[in-house]
Amino acid sequence: MKHLIITNGTVVADQLIERGTVVTIGDRIMLVAGEEEGRRILEAASPHVFEIIDARGGLIAPGLIDVHMHGCAGVELMDGTSEALETMARFVAREGTVAFLPSTVTAQEDKTRAACAAVAAYTDIEDGAELLGIHLEGPYINEKFKGAQYAPAIRGASIDELEELYGLLGSKLKLVTLAPEVPGSLEAVAWLKERGITVSIGHSDATYEEALAGFARGITHVTHTFNAMRGLHHREPGVVGAVLATPGLYAELIADLIHVHPGAIKVLLRSVGVEHLVLVTDSVQATGLPDGEYVLGDNKIFVRDGAARLAEGNLAGSTLTMRQAVQNMVEQLGVHPVDAFRMASLNPARTIGLEHRGWIKEGSRADFVLLTADYEVQKTIVSGRVVYSAD
């Protein structure tokens, strides 16, 4: 594998570097340079050692990381197969995502085990994004805010079940969404934190005080903020109030402009800051496909005008991509590109404990997406290796 010099683009780092250059050695970023230094590097670089990649005046951005997605391109994690995971890895790479955390939905124990076993056995492919592990969304949730989760399989938190899944997955169990008011959940939070697993509040009818008790035990993440949780009321602030009032939480946002009104997005940004907002897709198997009938776990879903819903009308995930989420934040919300990419790369990496990932700086992993000015993906680079090229 040749080392890379990526040049002739605007580098998205701590600030925008126009006509910038990035040099990688193996899977690490060695140097981030401006125009003049980049010119000298190009003049001295040996073509036997370096591959020169022309960004064509577009963006050289950190590769996107999605910590909450269920499926895309006609498949989902609950299929429980390596083939489904490979399809997901290839699809998201074409959209600029370098790493992803496939998410379960609430299901009976055997189906959850099968999905976990598939992730445990999976080996990353050369032309796809990296599979980071698994996000267990449910089954320890509140039926009142089940959203598109499968109600018959909702149950109280079980350390025995978690021990079995952890035995299958080990360090690949990265993120668990639960409702802290559900029986056994607070004990489960402590058990998960002891093993370095990020715990999220979601699908929850917790009171303000119950949510704070969960945060005190070790919940640090919020699943699709505003959606499928007790909302803010001035006499009962609920989950949303607790999230907005508690510093340091990493709060997910589905920025498809369907799940959350732009005004509410602005409230969330003002409350948690660009350092703690995490863009996610919550994508389902219909992502990348036409409107029609699909499934999400054991539920049928119906996609119309790009919005996925259950028959009764509940939103059921999204057809969003991470690339589109970033574009929406920049073009529709007026967020600075540096901040928007941080929400889609560095913050997702940090919330699940990934070090030296998610940002363009010396010493970090060489993960990039090269985009046109219209946010079309030109190339996706994972660990210093081109895994997708539009050419």
What region does 363 belong to: left with phi over 0, alpha with psi -120 to 50, or beta?
Answer: left
Q: In this structure, what is the dihedral angle of CA atoms 90, 96, 102, 103, given to the nearest 10 degrees?
A: -140
Q: Which residue has the tokens 């009818």?
A: 205
Are the beta carbons of 347 and 67 closer than 8 angstroms? Answer: no
User: What is the token pair recorded at 216?
Assistant: 């005190």
Q: Which residue has the tokens 């899944």?
A: 165
User: What is the token pair recorded at 1?
Assistant: 């594998």
275-289 tens-digit pLDDT: 999 999 999 999 999
Confidence (pLDDT) at 1: 76
pTM: 0.98
- pLDDT band at residue 309 using 50, 70 and 90 as cut-offs: very high
For domain 3-61+359-389, the CATH superfamily is Urease, subunit C, domain 1 (2.30.40.10)
What residues does each domain of the chain span?
3-61+359-389, 64-351
Determine the average pLDDT of the residues in 163-192.
98
Q: Which of 79, 205, 282, 339 is catalytic?
A: 282
Question: What is the CATH number that goes with domain 64-351?
Answer: 3.20.20.140
Single-letter amino acid, residue 201: I
Contacts for 62 with CB less than 8 Å, ≥ 6 apart: 12, 341, 345, 346, 358, 359, 360, 367, 368, 369
Contacts for 171 with CB less than 8 Å, ≥ 6 apart: 133, 196
Neighbours of 65 (CB within 10 A): 31
Rounded to an integer, what distance in angstroms lies between the CA atom of residue 268 and that of residue 347? 15
Residue 191 has pLDDT above 80, yes or no: yes
- pLDDT band at residue 211 using 50, 70 and 90 as cut-offs: very high
282 catalytic, yes or no? yes
